[in-house]
């Protein structure tokens, strides 16, 4: 794997951690999200957007979520149940379009880091 691809994987991994933490916060505040069926994509998107809006309303009204200790345990537990690493991000060689797209993103990240 080239240095540029390693940089891409590292950047993507950092972004994924931020997103996972955001979803963990939502699942902590709105426990129903932990058991949500994700069969119909449109419904899933609507439910998540609604949870985000409600979460932001709570923050605007100083209704902070304080159960951070349990939340950190949940995040760690989720990562242990669903381990991911840089290998998960690799795209099979036979998928040329995906390889080209990945290369474009790698180039953009390289330009940002100069």
- Average pLDDT over every residue of 37-45: 82
Q: Is the pLDDT of residue 23 over 50?
A: yes
Query: What is the Cα gyration radius of the chain?
Result: 18
DSSP string for residues in 82-114: S---GGGGPPPTT-HHHHHHHHHHHHHHHHHT-
- Average pLDDT over every residue of 16-23: 88
Q: Which residues contact 27 (CB under 8 A, 6 or more apart)?
A: 33, 34, 74
> Which pLDDT band holds residue 34 (cuts at 50, 70, 90)?
confident
| Per-domain residue ranges of the chain | 3-112
- Average pLDDT over every residue of 39-65: 86
Q: What is the per-residue pLDDT for 49? A: 92
Reported residue count of the chain is 114
The rounded mean pLDDT for the chain is 76
Q: Is the pLDDT of residue 14 over 80?
A: yes
């Amino acid at each position: 794997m080239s240095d540029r691809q390693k940089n891409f994987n590292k950047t993507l991994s950092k972004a994924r951690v931020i997103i996972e933490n955001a979803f963990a916060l939502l699942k902590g505040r709105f426990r129903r999200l932990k058991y949500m069926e994700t069969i119909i994509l449109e419904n899933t998107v609507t439910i998540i957007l609604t949870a985000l809006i409600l979460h932001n309303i709570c923050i605007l009204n100083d209704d902070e979520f304080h159960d951070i200790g349990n939340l950190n345990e949940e995040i760690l537990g989720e990562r242990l149940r669903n381990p991911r690493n840089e290998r998960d991000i690799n795209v099979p060689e036979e998928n040329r379009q995906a390889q080209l797209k990945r290369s474009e993103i790698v180039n953009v990240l390289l330009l940002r880091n100069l």
